[in-house]
């Protein structure tokens, strides 16, 4: 009977840890804490769902300085292999989870590396550090 309880406790803990992914949730850009060198973003809300060690879906609502609104959808597969970016002809992404709180992506266009992003979660703060050419941006998001 004790073994059954131990197995049940272990399975319950494993399921809880799998469900409690630190990336999942709704995140709002804190523009005052961010360091934007090239981005013209003034507002961004990002919703991350279906997050697991192997993948996650990201939906971002973005407003630029001109007032233009656009929505970006991404499906990241963390397998270290190249995958096409939805809606962006010739663009691909290679993503992997470094650990439970860090993900890295390399972006290519027409086979050439054009940039990379490292996303890190610490508590209720998600930091996206991106380098594309000579542009380096650090976006700080707070969990909603």
- 126 occurs within a structural domain: yes
Lowest mean pLDDT, pick from 52-61, 73-82, 122-131: 52-61
First to last CA, the chain: 43
Q: Is residue 17 part of a domain?
A: no
Predicted confidence (pLDDT) per residue in 22-42, tens digit:
999 999 999 999 999 999 999
Is residue 12 assigned to a domain?
A: no
Q: Tally the domains of the chain.
A: 1
**Which sign, positive or negative, has the C-alpha torsion 132, 40, 56, 125?**
positive
Residue 56's domain comprises 22-143
Average pLDDT rounded to a whole number, residues 98-113: 96
Can you tell me the mean pLDDT for 68-97? 95
This prediction's pTM: 0.82
- Report the C-alpha gap between 101 and 144 in whole angstroms: 18
Nearest CA-CA partner of 39 in 51, 31, 50, 28: 31
Q: Is residue 100 part of a domain?
A: yes
- CATH code where residue 39 lies: 2.40.128.20
- pLDDT number for residue 83: 97
Report whether pLDDT(1) > 80.
no
CA distance 57 to 53: 12
Pairing of strands 125-132, 112-122: antiparallel
Check residue 50 and give its pLDDT: 86
Mean pLDDT of 101-105: 96
């Amino acid at each position: 009977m004790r073994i059954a309880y131990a197995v049940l406790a272990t399975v319950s803990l494993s399921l809880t840890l799998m469900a409690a992914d630190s990336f999942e949730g709704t995140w709002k850009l804190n523009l005052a804490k961010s360091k934007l060198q090239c981005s013209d973003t003034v507002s961004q809300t990002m919703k991350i769902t279906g997050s697991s060690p192997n993948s996650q879906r990201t939906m971002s609502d973005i407003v630029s300085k001109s007032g233009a609104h656009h929505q970006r959808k991404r499906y990241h597969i963390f397998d270290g292999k190249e995958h096409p970016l939805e809606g962006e002809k010739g663009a691909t992404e290679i993503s992997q989870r470094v650990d439970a709180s860090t993900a890295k992506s390399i972006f290519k266009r027409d086979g050439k590396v054009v940039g990379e992003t490292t996303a890190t979660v610490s508590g209720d703060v998600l930091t996206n550090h991106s380098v594309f050419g000579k542009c380096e941006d650090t976006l700080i998001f707070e969990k909603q």
